[in-house]
Each structure stands twice: as structure tokens, then as C-alpha cells.
Chain A
Amino acid sequence: MEESSSSVQVVIPPKESFAKEWSSDQKAFKGVPWGKAMMWIFLVSDTFVFSIFLISYMTVRFSTKNEWPNPSEVFGLHVGQANVPLLLIAIMTFILITSSGTMALAVKYGYEKNRKMCGYLMLATAVLGASFVGMQAFEWTKLIMEGVRPWSNPFGAPQFGAIFFMITGFHGTHVTIGVIFLFIMTYKVFRGHFDTGKRGFFTSQKSDYEAIEIMGLYWHFVDLVWVFIFAFFYLW
């Protein structure tokens, strides 16, 4: 720690126009913490990853000669006697979007330093996320039982299975990583690490409630990506 520097007061300058902020010194995004800015740039980069996945999917869907399976039949569930199309996917989508809501509330309570509410809402988000991953595992199992493989499937174009496993797998990995971090964050909230500014085990940096917001950015992004996967893969 630089003792002499810590006596200098850090100020957040008032809001200015875009051009003024970018032509000023020190920070291009005024008042934005490093971690938050970094997460934003990472999400833009990750957007490229998912965009390329989806564009590749569309290209392959056009290039394959075999007929593309009808997703509402493939992803339907038998409930009683009726065949409900996209039932599971609808529930999964609902759960994930709900978890975005609880996440947003957790951020709010975090900044209000309401440790309990923040913690419970983080926990709720983590549980919702985990149940999403669980349902995805169920969906994978169901399709694998029906004979869908990355290289072939009984419904039509072999790329269907390949794309399904690759894109939902990659998104599912994102959700899983998110859930793991949500649980870690929940633990840290309940233990009061963000109130005491306990130093991170690896990074040796002080904990702060802004970490909840950064977590939230990632979580909302994962939800948003799911909306696009839902629209382009399941509905189309």
C-alpha cells in the first residue's frame, strides 16, 4: 500500500457529454469501476463467440441436404394424453428470466448494504440457475435416449444434433460457471466479506459489493444469450 497516496481524495466527476468524457484524463467511463468495465468488454467479446455459433448454425442449416427436424415436435413433452410442444423449454426460459429478476434485486440490496436480503436473493438466483442446468441435463438425457447423437439423429439432418449439443452445451457451461460463482458470492455475502472488505484468497484484492453487480452483468448476459438461442434454435 502506498501510504502517501491514500491521503488523496478520490472524486467521481459529474456527468458530462460522451465526447468530453472521452477526451478527459484518467477514465473514459467516468465513475465506472475497473471490474465492471472489464466485464462489459468481456461480454462484448463473448457476444462475438455466441454470434458466431449462431451464424454457423444458420449456415450449416442451409448447407445440409437433409431436412431440418421440426423443433416443436422434437422438444415436445407428453403430458397425460396431450403432446405439448416446447413445454420444457418454456419452463426453462421462464426460470432463467425469473433468475434475472432476483439477480437485479440482489444488486439493489447489495448496494443498500442489506446483507440478508442480498444473500437470500443471490441464493435464489443460484438455485434457479442450478435448476435450469438440471432441466437442461434432463433434456439432454431425453434426446440421447431417443437416439440423438452429435453425428446423427432419427429426425433428419445430422447437424441438428451437433448444433444442439454444441450450442446448448456451451451456453450450459456458461450457466454452470455462473451458478458456481453465484454460490461463492452467496457464501461471501452471508459471511459479510463485502461489508468487512475481506481480501480475496487468490487475488488479494478487497471484496466490495460492486462484485455483485459485476456478477449480475454476467448473469443477465447469459439470460440474454438464451433468449437468442431460444428464438433461433427452438422457435425457428
Chain B
Amino acid sequence: MAADSYEDVVKNKESIPALEVAPQDLYHAKSFWTKYIFCQDAKVIGIQYGLTAVAIGLVGLVSSWLMRMQIAFPGLIPMDAAQYYQLVTMHGMIMVVYLLTALFLGGFGNYLIPLMVGARDMVFPYVNMVSFWVFFLAVIILASSYFVPGGPTGAGWTLYPPQAITSGTPGGDGLGIVLMLVSLAVFVIGFTMGGLNYVITVLQARTRGMTLMRLPLTVWGIFTATVLALFAFPALFVAGIMMTLDNMLGTSFFMPAIIQFGEKLTHEGGSPILFQHLFWFFGHPEVYIVALPAFGIVSDLISVHARKNIFGYRMMVWAIVIIGGLSFVVWAHHMYVAGMNPWFGFFFATTTLIIAVPTAIKVYNWVLTLWRGNIKLTLPMLFSIAFIITFVNGGLTGLFLGNVAVDVPLSDTYFVVAHFHMVMGIAPVLVILGSVYHWFPLITGRFLNERLGKIHFWVTFIGSYSIYFPMHYLGFMGVTRRYFEVFEGEAFTYSITGINQFITVAALVTGAAQFLFIYNIIVSSKFGKKAGKNPWKACSLEWRTKDVPPTHGNFDKELPVVYRWAYDYSVPGADEDYITQDTPPSAVANARAEQT
């Protein structure tokens, strides 16, 4: 059997390309343990990842409540400075690494990649299963640091040495910092196992007809983010190992000569700046590891719910790839005030501002997709629109902070807090929430409750703006972040206490709305309105499974064959306003869809 080349397929639209991927040999679980606990089905693993991430994420949410209480109403909840710093640290690390990264890549990646590329499972289901359990172990190690003497580390989520491992910092001379570093190293190992799976599934296990340029943007986002993670996490891993050695064995990788309480410590000759470089070599790609899946997913949500093809698909793909590449050469813009050579600042400011170009392309394309679309204000669409607005807001403040001269006075103020929460906190979370509303009918076969969802959306959207808009003002006034107590004084032109109390109330309400969301999920998974097959009339393959919710092996006896991209909405001449990816051209002969 001669292999048809890609060109032949394009010319002869009906022909099916020769099969290059051998049928996957799946292990079908027989017992409860292999079906639900040590399960090799990517969909179950995705849900396991999601639930674990949300569970530890709730710890991060409650941490932020307690922090806000201390800032606005000091004394109401008794805590000392050390506990406050522990809350700050754990909130940051949990939210960035254990919630967002794990949820986007481990959760959505596992669930959606095999379905969307038309594969039966990830390429190595066993490794995938181990990946989750190693991640679970990392979460357990992290959570255990709450229960050791001295408590978890309070070094700030950036864990800068020398303060992170000296006494005086909460958890610095106890087990807190060690458990944090070990947990991160374990996380990296677990993630690498999963990440290799995601990358190879996208590159080597697509179904027939599924070219890279026909992939839904969700897959492109998660795929690129996974590649970033595979190349960025090593820096965190190595930095974690070296700091553990500094702490446990008394080496001096990051520790210069220090005099503490009049006594010279045994360390000498290390480079604290080295840690910052390593941390941000991981830390900046990490921002895009969280953002790129959100970019991809939101593109799909907008396209489906505006019944219009995504504007500039190729541009969107290349923008994702270019952002991913650039994210490796901007890391030191987090270190303008760290005492590095000022010429570096100039270089990194330039590369940082260049990122504005591909990101702006993406924003324009989202807006142009909406333009004259048949916009359905469903919950996923509401969250998507909210994402675009929030991302633009957060992105614009990024321009302030990317410039050295403007950044220096704004460093370590609430302006920075507002910026990164807008751009990599609220914006991706809005996408997560929107995509849960979107894919819940696929995962459970039922819709989430719309009325509760609307309440959830408006409280979350208005609430998060109530939290973070005032923070920009606080930052401009020079209120520094990470302060246990904020003093009123002549430095501030008007009362900041009022603003802080307003923010705290908004944070409590917004957080509470998330519990409403969780309640909605629990109740709707049992009693929600039945959704049936493909309730959103989407084109991509995840809705074309044999059963809804999809079972192990995803598709019917034959894998679907793909003839078009994932965005054939409202095609002129077609009977329906969408043409699924596996619809052969002969079935929609009247449609004037371009060959993609």
C-alpha cells in the first residue's frame, strides 16, 4: 500500500491518508484500583490532577483571605509577622505551581489532548499514571510542611537566599524550607513524566488528516506551554537542589559571607544573584506556562460561542510559539533592582517589550473573532470576554513594569501585586472557570446550573476588579507589598486603610463565590440538566466520541479521520452552522469552506 503524500490528500479531498500510527495497545482496567486509583486512562488522570490541584488551591485561597484580614483589620484574626509571611509564601507557591500549572497542563492537558488530536490515550499511559502520583506526593510533601516544627517557609514565593535559609525567616532554620524545595523537585520530576507524554502525543500520535495546522488552539497552547515547562523546570530543579545542599550540608552556592547576630556564619563566597537568575529563568517561562494554555483555550471558547471561525488562525499559532520562545530571554526583568549590571536591564527591557507584539496580535484576533460574530452570552463566553478585558488590563501595566526607569520606583509595591494577579492570576483563572462551564457537559454529560453560574461570574468578575484596581493606586502611593502592617502616616496623601478594607471585603466575597462554584459542580454532576452529545455544536474532535462522557479508548472502533480545521463555523452554504472536523467534504458539498 503506497503512502499518499499530504499533497495528494489535499488534491483528492476524499482520500484517506495511509495509517502511520500503529493502533494503540491499551491496558483495560479490571479492578477498582486500576480503574479509579492507579488508572492509566488520561481522562481519569486529568480529573485526578484537577481535583488535587483544586484541593490544595483552596488552601491557597484561604491563605489569601487570612492575609487580607490582617492587612485591613489587624488583630481581628490573631497572627504574628512570621505567620503572615508563611501565608504569603504558601499562597504564592500553591497558586502558581500546584494549582495553575497542574490544572492547565495536568488537568486540561490530560483530558483534552488525546481527545482533541484524535488519539485513544496518551502515548505512555503507565508513565502518565506515575506522573500524577508523583505530583500527588509533591502536594503531600508541601502540605506536610504545615505540620512540622516552625511551620512552612515564610521566605516569599521567590524563596530568595540568603534569607530563605537563615534563622529569623519562618521555616528558614527548620524543615519548612527543605520540604518546600523537596516538594518542588518532586513536582518537577512528576511533571517531566507527564509533559513528555503530552509533547509526544501531540507530535507523534495524531489521527489521520490531523496536521499540526489543524489542531485546535487549545492543543497548541498546552503543547507549547509543556515544551516551555520541560525546558524551564530544570532551572528550578537545580536551584532547589543547590539550596537544599546549602541548607542541609552547609555548602555555599548561594550564600555569601554573612554576619548574623554578631556571629559570622560558616558560609562564604556564594552568589545570591545566581539563585535569582536560576529562579527567574524558571519563573518567567512559568508565567507563560500558565498563560499560553489560557490563550489557547479562550480562542476555542470564543470561536465556539461566537459561531465564527477564529480570526487569523496561523497568526495565533505563531504568536503562541513566538511568545514561548521569547519567554526564555526576558527573565531578568524581574531583577531590575537586584543589583545586576544595568546594561542587562536595557537588554531585558527590550526583549520584554517585544513580547507585546505577539500578545497584541492575539488580543486583536480575539476581538476580531467576536466582531460581527453571532455572540451567544453563555457562561463560557462571558468568562472569555472577561478574560480579554482582564488580560489587556494586566498586559498594559506590564508595559510600566517592563521599563527599567518606571519599574524601579514601582518595585515591591502593590502595583506589582496588582499587575501579576491581573495578568497571570485572574486572567487564567477566568479561562479555567469558563472552560469548566464549557467542558463540564463533556466530562459528566450534564450542564452546570446557569443561574448559579451567572451569579458566580458576576461576583467573580466585579469582585476581582474591586480587589485589584485599587491596588494599582496603593502601589502608586508607594505602599509596599509583603508588609505585615501598613502604617498610616504623612507619606500617604489620603487614607489607605479605607482602600485596604474595601479590598479585603471584596476578596472575601469573591472567594466565597468560588465555593458557590464548587457547590454548583457537586450538585450539577448529579442533578444537572442533561446535555446530550455536542451541546455547544462545536467542531473539534473531543465532542465526536462514541459515548458522552467519553469512555476508555475515547473513540469508536475506528479513529476519526480529519478533513478540516476546528473552526468551520457559520460556513456559507452549509446546512448547519458548524462542520465538525471529521466531516468529509462530500457530506457538505454545498458548503464553501476553504481547504485548511
Residues of A within 8 A of B (CB): 1-2, 4-6, 8-14, 16, 20, 22-32, 34-35, 37-38, 41-42, 44-46, 48-49, 52-53, 56, 59-60, 63-66, 150-151, 157-159, 162, 166, 170, 202-206
Contact = CB atoms under 8 A, between A and B. Distances in A.
B532 interface: no
Interface string B255-284: 010000000001011110010001001000
B204 A27 contact: yes
A180 B558 CA distance: 40
B18 interface: yes
Interface in B205-228: 205-214
Contacts of A32: 204
B14 to A, nearest CB: 15
A66 B251 CA distance: 14
Interface in B1-60: 1-3, 5-6, 9, 17-23, 25-27
A48 B197 CA distance: 18
Contacts of B17: 25-26
A4 B557 contact: yes
A56 B238 contact: yes
B417 interface: no
B204 A41 contact: no
A95 to B, nearest CB: 27
B245 interface: yes
Given A25-B562, A27-B203, A59-B271, A166 B234 contact: no
B252 A162 contact: yes
B200 A56 contact: no
B230 A44 contact: yes
B253 A26 contact: no
Contacts of A28: 203-204, 212
Nearest to B555: A2
Contact of B27 (A10, A53, A204): A204
Nearest 6 interchain pairs by C-beta: A64-B269, A162-B251, A5-B23, A48-B234, A63-B271, A151-B250
B553 interface: yes
Contacts of B269: 60, 63-66, 157-159
A125 B435 CA distance: 51
| B contact patch SS | loop
Contact of A65 (B3, B192, B268): B268
Interface of B: 1-3, 5-6, 9, 17-23, 25-27, 120, 123-124, 126-127, 192, 196-197, 199-200, 203-214, 230-231, 233-235, 237-239, 241-242, 245, 249-253, 256, 266, 268-271, 274, 278, 281, 553, 557-559, 562
Contact of A13 (B18, B213, B237): B18
A215 B529 CA distance: 52
A166 B21 contact: no
Nearest to A28: B203
Contact of A60 (B238, B253, B562): B253
Given A27-B20, A48-B234, A151 B252 contact: yes
Contact of A25 (B1, B127, B210): B210
B231 A2 contact: no
Contacts of A5: 23, 557-559
A4 B192 contact: no
A164 to B, nearest CB: 11
Contacts of B206: 25-27
Contacts of A166: 241-242, 245, 251
Of B22, B23, B127, B266, most A-chain CB atoms within 10 Å: B23
B196 A2 contact: no
A8 to B, nearest CB: 5
Given A28-B203, A65-B268, A11 B1 contact: yes
B23 A8 contact: yes
Contacts of B21: 10, 26-27
B19 A158 contact: no
Contacts of A16: 5
Contacts of B25: 1, 204-206
Nearest to A12: B20
A166 B17 CA distance: 51
A40 B352 CA distance: 30
A7 to B, nearest CB: 10
Contacts of B239: 52
Contact of B126 (A13, A65, A204): A204
Contacts of A59: 271, 274
Of A5, A30, A45, most buried by chain B (CB within 10 Å of CB) is: A45
A7 B502 CA distance: 67
B558 A48 contact: no
A42 B242 CA distance: 22
A29 B204 CA distance: 7
Given A20-B6, A56-B278, A30 B20 contact: yes
Contacts of B19: 8-11, 26
Nearest to B3: A13
A34 B200 contact: yes
Nearest to A30: B20
A53 B203 contact: no
Contacts of B253: 56, 60, 159, 162
Contact of A37 (B126, B200, B250): B200
Contacts of B209: 25
Given A25-B210, A60-B270, A2 B200 contact: no
A35 B200 CA distance: 9
A5 B256 CA distance: 63
13 contacts: A4-B558, A5-B557, A9-B1, A9-B18, A13-B5, A25-B17, A26-B205, A42-B192, A48-B234, A59-B271, A159-B270, A162-B251, A170-B241
